[in-house]
Structure 1
């Protein structure tokens, strides 16, 4: 049998075709526009997602036995607000995860309603990117649109609705809306009331590996795919990517060094750190996860290489670094502010420790180490909750650097596993579709049989000890300078 994973990203939809053994048969990608109608705003037209996804499925299945396509599932950009009217028509463009218009609403939730009350309802506090502040913004600024709302959906769930006719949402993606009681895996009645909406306006909840419906007859005929093809709930992009890297079950970890950076820790037990420094979300395997998200990771290295020293030869610059653990230069990687664990939009990138003998290689090394130290900040929060992590998977563009992988292994003092196929949320989506069809008994079994580790970076005792000392110094820099940031922004 064949399974389709749909990764609905911010700039493109990536579709992957996988067989029942986990072999990837084909991958296609189709782009769509991103709109910035005002400074700080970020929107997309859900119909663009649908059109390109439909064409992408056609292209993906053009050369296969279409009768074998048994399931379609998803990974998708989180937090976006899609609102439908009584005719299931889109009311306004979707407001995306990286839209910054809701600071007033975020402050209202955190400061007037109060972080403790919000966290008690949802296990999280408000961030400008989350969905609930966007609903409050529409209520305040577009009251006519607010009155029309019949259904509130997330981006990937709009695709699932168009394919199946079912208004659905999975628990991992719902966790990022600030409308979901993560511990009890249900909509929070109190948060819905705070936002002025009802449970009837919310989609039906499913676990990520559950079937929400089957392919509509008219689409089955159009695509020449059986109408028995299951449409499976899927997951938010980070949770779907975690499935694709085998980060499921208890105490598993994945580090992503993409444009932004995440440390994703799976757990069978629900847990929230007292300061809400990490996001506490439901996981696609039916359990839970904690996630630290830093806004600038590999993008820090790209900025340093491309904009500051003016080179595209990243490998050559890193080859000059030969004294790990001995650098006296430190870098705070907060080029776009910071989310986890500081939640400070005013934080800024900072070099400290420069002297007349500081070299170009020292500063390049400081950038790589600064990102690793910032990931450890979130890692330390997880450890404070009693979570024991001995190894991690690693993915993303930055993870292609052997040097950066070595730094991560020794800064965190854990083993770093390199996986064979790194296809992120699209592979995770296809795996969830296979689980829903009974190819595997659980998400954990699918990960065990499909995800292959091809190399492991071991921490070195002497180097890890040097980085332990360096991290303790790094950890003192942000608290010392944070009050300056609001004066200089």
Structure 2
């Protein structure tokens, strides 16, 4: 049996999978998230480990624990975890959706220059990436910076605590802006720019590579006898792509989680001239391009939970209709935006309300705004000559039939759903099974394990209406972006 872990922003999700891909049990443990200042987002790495161990114990409580042969972790990307010489966490982790690094991001893009960054890494600087966070600590917390002995990403901290292996996979490392993605090695130039040395960074692996085994004291705590292999794992989007079968060239996956991503696979590195999207390594040993919205399903959660104070999401969506005819629009930039605008200061807004505007129209505008934001990214891919005709969809937002229908028609592509939408946790378990030799590679494993459930085809009439609506939507950010400054 194999344990897959999804180390997320709101909690850790774990699942137990047998060698044939059958999911036997799932467990979720939630932990805290702090916002010390507006636009900041932090977490305590110790919580990640403690709640993961609690989750594992619950997960294996009804089986022979020694049947567990491997762990694979998919985790939130870009977060900065720094340890001192005693392996103690120096400060709370600065997360992927933290927007404090505007000055550092501007320095990298404008003073170092986007051309150089693209040459060194294949990408430009975004506020969420790890390199600007390192520079922020250097500029604002010099005493903490002097203590740094190890720099790692969230899921790699978990692997380090489990195994003692200081490791990172290429997919997750791609989002640090420290990796030469095309050549799969640390960029000496970027390390110099960020004032760090290579010995402060982990050893690099492919996602399914075994980096170590669970330490004896951890095994004893879990009640497991025997060896348990741990693979390098993957960034959450690359792990989710495995769990959706988005492996091998020419595949697409859309994730509607806290953030939203469009993930398009390729067998080779894609050089992005416009830099609006990201060009990263994939967990199947290939590459992918990705657009990332900082707020996706979290927009709907904010609207329903915080503003309407209504937990009945399904009932609220029953009141929506007339797709493509809504006169209310919503910009989904609650935490700023990454792709394609790269503006941490961007903010959300409703526009188009009148005296007869209803709650249902505003609620529908939130769902449509996220879909329009995803189309912004898809349009960039189209400009690059990439033709996507269908996609898989996953994440919490994908559980909504209405949102799936909106996505299919706004993007005007076929949308496929999964029998088991377990995202990064399933991807992690599949990686563990590959690492243990059950499958020859990730692509073969995904083919045998991942099953699709249903599909939604776009309706030509509705898609045409959404084309006109998108023409209006795409003018909103250019007309308002100066206000955010």
Normalising by structure 2, report the TM-score: 0.93
Q: CA deviation at 1:416?
A: 0.6
Bigger mean CA deviation after superposition, 122-131 or 412-421: 122-131
1:270 maps to what in 2?
A: 269
Could you tell me how far apart the structure 2 residues matched to 1:211 and 1:369 are?
42
2:337 aligned residue: 338
Aligned to 1:230: 229
The count of aligned residue pairs is: 485
Partner of 1:369: 368
1:157-196 aligned at under 5 Å gives the runs: 157-196=156-195
Structure 1 pair 227–150 and aligned structure 2 pair: CA distance change class (3 A): farther
Tell me if structure 2 keeps the 8 A contact 1:329–1:362: yes
1:140 Cα deviation (Å)? 2.7
Could you say what secondary structure the match of 2:69 adopts? Answer: strand
Report the alpha carbon displacement of residue 226 of structure 1 after superposing the two structures with TM. 4.2
Q: 1:372-451 alignment to 2 at 5 Å? A: 372-451=371-450
Is this contact kept in 1: 2:99–2:344, CA < 8 A? Answer: no
Cα distance, 1:355 vs structure 2? 4.5
Partner SS for 1:157: helix
Looking at structure 2, the residues matched to 414 and 471 of structure 1 have their Cα atoms a distance apart, in angstroms, of 15
- The match for 2:250 is 251
2:325 aligned partner:
326
Aligned-pair Cα RMSD in Å: 2.2
Conserved 8 A contact 1:215-1:227: no
Indicate if the aligned counterparts of 2:78 and 2:153 stay in contact, CA closer than 8 A: yes
Structure 1 range deviating more: 472-481 or 30-39: 30-39
Return 52-61 or 276-285, whichever deviates more.
52-61
SS at match of 2:323: coil
Per the TM alignment, residue 453 of structure 1 is displaced from its structure 2 partner at its CA by 0.8
Decide whether aligned partners of structure 1 residues 329 and 171 sit closer, same or farther in structure 2, where only a CA change above 3 A counts.
Answer: same
Separation in 2, partners of 1:275, 1:216 = 45
Structure-2 residue corresponding to 1:75: 74
Q: Return 302-311 or 121-130, whichever deviates more.
A: 302-311
Tell whether the 8 Å contact from 1:69 to 1:226 is kept in structure 2 after alignment.
Answer: no
Show structure 2 runs of 5+ residues with no match.
none
**Unmatched 5+ stretches in structure 1:** none
CA 1:57 to 1:402, structure 2 compared with 1: closer, same or farther past 3 Å? closer
Write the mapping of 1:14-93 to structure 2, written as runs, cut at 5 A.
Answer: 14-93=13-92
Structure 1 range deviating more: 233-242 or 299-308: 299-308
Q: State the Cα distance separating 1:418 from its structure 2 match.
A: 1.0
How far does residue 235 in structure 1 lie from its aligned partner after superposition?
A: 0.6
CA shift for structure 1 position 360: 4.2
Q: Which deviates the most, 10-19 or 305-314? A: 305-314
Distance, in Å, in 2 between the alignment partners of 1:319 and 1:67 is 47
Instruction: Indicate how the Cα distance of structure 1 residues 80 and 307 shifts in structure 2: closer, same or farther if over 3 A, else same.
Output: closer
Per the alignment, residue 111 of structure 2 pairs with 112
Per the TM alignment, residue 74 of structure 1 is displaced from its structure 2 partner at its CA by 0.2
Change over 3 Å in CA distance of 1:293–1:212 after alignment to 2: same
Kept after mapping to 2: 8 A contact 1:329/1:354: yes
